[in-house]
Structure 1
């Protein structure tokens, strides 16, 4: 019954004009954002010591764009290096665990212990161990994205079509050939699911690293801390808005990349 109801809806959506699809996709979120902006402005006008008005935030961004740009570049550097290393290490360890189960039994308990330890508690110890440079911030950012990437990649590498695996065994395929031609392509939907979780967490991790890791006072997270201590609400919320924008850009780029890489997966879903 449900399939007979869903199919006409999907067919109608596919046959709708591009303008109709554009309206149906963008109008609801646009209306939501407009309502939130109006509500924000009303609260800010009546509570100037709680929230700055939207025009005050815009004026802060326009008055000193170099300051915001320089701090955003620092945060982007932390995301690129820290989150990039965390994502890569998570995937490589997942490959090792899928091929050698003994590694998972030996390492996974330690990883769980590290992941359940609050990163705020780890950051000061990292500063003591690695100094006041950027390395502790890279490590904090990498730790935040490591676990979701590891778990999703491991699930994907083990989610192998048993019939296809039997065919590979019949052809006497090597372990490398099975990984290259079966496990790796098959795990890509899970990898992108992990990346979809990791990308927003990377922004959060970079900001938290700048909050709690002493040292260089640079980055949007540091700008939020400093401006909040000075009760400079426009700068605080402008920095928060840029962090949100950075997360949206990363997620959007990931969605475009997924569409290019997993075109076959999307086509399979649409064709059902």
Structure 2
């Protein structure tokens, strides 16, 4: 009996799909990262020097500001520590209370309808107008300054966290409902993680803003004897412009460091989120 040739049934080698090209991370030494900032700083410095040379009663020279900082650095460090203490305590109270209220409002709609209008009214009320009354109520210590800072940082956290807790995709909620998850499990395992990008974005705003709140509180709170805000107020009243701008430089450095810290924490915690994905 004739037999035909059997077909070749040996497995043919398959070509694996090409892996997507990896995105190369730019080194911090790459000129595209640091050169624009250096150019901007040099331009601002040149403009500052030109104005200071022509109008010395408007701006001190950069050398005068640097000399003021170097003459007595302990003075600026001590006052910066006082301002930073007020800022951190105030933002802890303001952001903490806002986060707790946002959690409650996400679970109790009637509470949201009751609290949100009051929060809006508090946000649009000039805090400077409240500071003298707070001094009368709480004395000349740290309490009125902390309250002013907490009021300034309260509303952004409340709005962002509330939005994050409510920004859960309906299909994911349906899956949790199918699994018979309790309201507490939905809140803890779904709503809170979903609100984390919004919460950290709010902290990126309010942490540097807390410095502003602390300085404003030191400006308007009677009996203040320390802090960069008090130092600026006293130096301005005596026309000591180098001291004013040296204190402003310290405040700017504090704000930049707080913003950098928040951005670092955000990158660590939200490595999975699309907002942290690098673009090619």
Tell me, in whole angstroms, the C-alpha distance in 2 between the residues paired with 1:17 and 1:264: 20
**Pair 1:201 & 2:212 matched:** no
Task: Compute the RMSD of aligned alpha carbons.
Answer: 1.9
- Deviation per residue, 1:161-194 (Å, 9 max, x gap): 1111111111111111111110011101111111
SS at match of 1:142: helix
Q: Within 2, Cα distance between the matches of 1:19 and 1:252?
A: 15
Change (3 A) 1:167 1:133: same
Task: Map 1:208-227 to 2 at 5 A.
Answer: 208-227=216-235
Which of the numbers 226, 236, 239 marks the counterpart of 1:231? Answer: 239
Post-superposition shift, 1:271?
Answer: 7.5
Work out the CA distance in 2 between the residues paired with 1:129 and 1:172: 50
Matched, 1:126 2:109: no
8 Å Cα contact 1:227/1:236 also seen in 2: yes
1:175 and 2:148 are equivalent in the alignment:
no
1:4 alignment counterpart: none
Equivalent position SS for 1:140: helix
Which whole-Å CA distance do the structure 1 matches of 2:276 and 2:80 have between them?
Answer: 39
1:108 to 105, 113, 116: 116
Partner of 2:169: 161
> By how many angstroms is 1:270 displaced?
3.7
Separation in structure 1 between the aligned mates of residue 22 and residue 57 of structure 2, nearest angstrom = 47
CA distance in 1, matches of 2:177, 2:25: 46
Equivalent residues of 1:259, 1:266 under 8 A apart? no
Q: Which range is displaced more, 64-73 or 214-223?
A: 214-223
Distance in 2 separating the partners of 1:117 and 1:206: 17
Counterpart mapping for 1:58-69 below 5 A: 58-69=66-77
Counterpart of 1:137 in structure 2 is 145
Deviant stretches of 4+, over 4 Å: none
Q: CA deviation at 1:25?
A: 1.5
Structure 1 segment 35-74 matched on structure 2, within 5 A: 35-74=43-82
Aligned residue for 2:24?
A: 15
- The structure where helix makes up a greater share of residues is 1
- Matched pairs, number: 261
User: Are 1:82 and 2:98 matched, yes or no?
Assistant: no
CA shift, 1:30, in A, is 1.1
Q: Aligned with 1:264: secondary structure? A: coil
Secondary structure at the aligned position of 1:14 is classed as coil
User: Does the 8 Å contact 2:28/2:34 carry over to 1?
Assistant: no
Q: Kindly state the Cα deviation for residue 115 of structure 1 after the two structures are TM-superposed.
A: 1.2
Find the partner of 1:242 among 241, 250, 256. 250
Cα distance in 2 for partners of 1:94, 1:226 equals: 40
Unpaired segments of 5 or more residues in structure 2? 1-19
8 Å contact from structure 2 (residues 64, 242) kept in 1 = yes
The answer to which of 122-131 and 260-269 deviates more is 260-269
TM-score (norm 2): 0.89
Counterpart CA distance in 2 for 1:193 and 1:220 is: 27
Summarize the Cα distance change of 1:252–1:95 in structure 2 as closer, same or farther, 3 Å threshold.
same
